[in-house]
Chain A
Amino acid sequence: MVDYEPAEHYDRVTRAWALLMGDDLHYGVFDAPSDPLAEASDRLTSLMIEVGGLTEAGPEGTDGAPLRVLDVGCGTGGPASRLVRDHGVDLLGITPSAVGIEAATARFAAAGLPGSFEQRDGTDNGLPDASFDRVWVLEASHLMPDREALISEASRVLRPGGRLVLCDIIRRREIGFRELRERREEFAVLRAGFGAARMDPLDLYAAHAEKHGLKVLTQRDISEETRPTFAAWRANAEQHRDAVLELIGPDELDVFVRSLEILERLWDDRTLGYGIFAAEKVG
């Protein structure tokens, strides 16, 4: 029996994904299709930093204390390391994956960076109210089906004036039951490759945010800029084929490569895409 739950899924494939998707384990924002993946991935992180206001000073009255940042779905800590290294934030990363915690902790230790990582659920994080200046959710929300709980929890732990910044795969149009049934094999391949994901429109993120005391600052579709990511991942699959086969075997590599073709079709027919979103805690 295959288990599509996020933690188990991540545990199985994290190491292989680093070879296939790059160290940051996320999409890229391309100025041109020929941009190197690492540069494009970094550009997505930069965009998150910009709309999330991560370059701003710490909260008023804290005498220059760093921004306290909660990284929800921190993966192996790639983007988090940049936040700490370049912007000096005080970081707590959370993920349901034990392997992710181990990898992120090791990454920070190797780089001599401060920061902590804990195994927690982003939709029920158990952290104190009003204890963070930023909540950062980079490409993790699609694996948390209770989207409203994720945003409600983010709002709860933010201080007034704090900011939620999030980017992820989005649904750009309604997919009716009949269409889903007809295309079920495509979606089943995506589930096998990337876990039990659910994509929502950017408007739904905004609606949840407004409902839970956040004011939307930015809501942007960046589907076109992220589209070349698939070609870059395909090139990585060819380049690192032997190493990936050793880690996950031929069936999973095949699923990954087939997923890329399916995602390109879904991007091109405007079913799926990519969005970025930021909202401020009112108070």
Chain B
Amino acid sequence: MPSPRSTAETLVRDFLTRINKDASADLDAPLYADGVGLDSLETAELSALLEDELGNDPFSTADVLPQTLREVLDHYGADDAAAETA
């Protein structure tokens, strides 16, 4: 069974494909201008999608919006590979 982090990554990359953004973006690429290029409405839509599918999301629970895909995924737990290595 995929971890929440892995499910979140699939959801985000599918979402980026659907809105014609770079779905292969690096984990550390900025989510907004000069990076993946999410605008505020797209960010709100992603936030709602993640909450619908995973029960919570880092955009509406944090004081500061996540700035990278990695920060989004970290909300759902540690990187599986990194956790195994540690």
Contacts and interface: CB of A to CB of B under 8 A. Distances in A.
A176 to B, nearest CB: 10
A187 B48 CA distance: 14
B20 A181 contact: no
Interface residues of B, number: 13
Nearest to B40: A180
Interface in A131-168: 145
B14 to A, nearest CB: 12
A198 interface: yes
User: Is chain A's binding surface mostly helix, strand, loop or mixed?
Assistant: helix
B43 A177 contact: yes
A188 B45 CA distance: 9
For chain A, which range describes its interface: under 10, 10 to 19, 20 to 34, or 35 or more residues? 10 to 19
B20 A3 contact: yes
User: Is chain B's binding surface mostly helix, strand, loop or mixed?
Assistant: helix
A145 B39 contact: yes
A191 B19 CA distance: 12
A196 B39 contact: yes
A1 interface: yes
Given A1-B18, A1-B20, A184-B48, A177 B41 contact: no
Given A187-B41, A188-B41, A198-B39, A181 B48 contact: yes
A177 B44 contact: yes
Interface of B: 18, 20, 39-41, 43-45, 47-48, 59-60, 65
